[in-house]
Structure 1
């Protein structure tokens, strides 16, 4: 019997503009909060019709906007990141993209 150990994934870090251009988020035409670009909303809420749209989307095209905690030792910590996948903890909302995330990668996109 062989045992394999998975190595911890190093996140793929990117800035919002590069990520936005690469994955093409779809507009939430009924959205009125969260992530805006050129006065268009790209975040879907965590309940109701928005959540149903997220659940119906290709799971590889779903991203979660997450609030991250501040580190007492780092004045610039805290804020928001966008991570690939459907998450519940610290979620503020979801984004659906036209292009899927790359399998085997873990993304962490800075968003403030």
Structure 2
């Protein structure tokens, strides 16, 4: 799913929730993904751009119609963003299939 030269790691969604603890979207009253997802436009996107890069994750739709949470800011096939309380390690690409 990712095209980087960094090592790739795949995590289970529940493990990702526990390890990185995505923070609630305080800008939208009824945000998707149990209140955790940020939109791809407007004030929510501006907030994502103001967030340290090691805490941003992107929800994308893969070629096989599977949803993935990918580490970092992605534009292609993006559906939304998450902001993690826990920063991710540098120089590692992480993908999380969403059931």
Shorter-normalised TM-score: what interval? 0.7 to 0.9
Deviation at 1:9, TM superposition (A): 3.6
C-alpha RMSD of matched pairs (Å): 1.6
Say which of 18, 22, 31 aligns to 2:19.
22
Q: Unpaired segments of 5 or more residues in structure 2? A: none
Please state whether the residue corresponding to 1:35 is helix, strand or coil.
helix
Q: Find runs of 4+ consecutive structure 1 residues off by over 4 angstroms.
A: none
Consecutive unaligned residues of structure 1, counting only runs of 5 or more, are 1-6, 71-77
Equivalent of residue 92 in structure 1, options 70, 79, 83 = 79
CA-CA distance at 1:33 after TM superposition: 4.2
Residues 31 and 44, structure 1, Cα contact 8 Å, conserved in 2: no
Does residue 58 of the first structure (1) align with residue 52 of the second (2)? yes
How many residue pairs match? The answer is 95
Q: Which structure has the bigger radius of gyration?
A: 1
Q: Which has the higher contact order (CA 8 A, sep 6+)?
A: 2
Distance 1:91 1:53 in 2: 16
8 Å Cα contact 2:57/2:83 also seen in 1: yes
When normalised by structure 2's length, the TM-score is 0.87
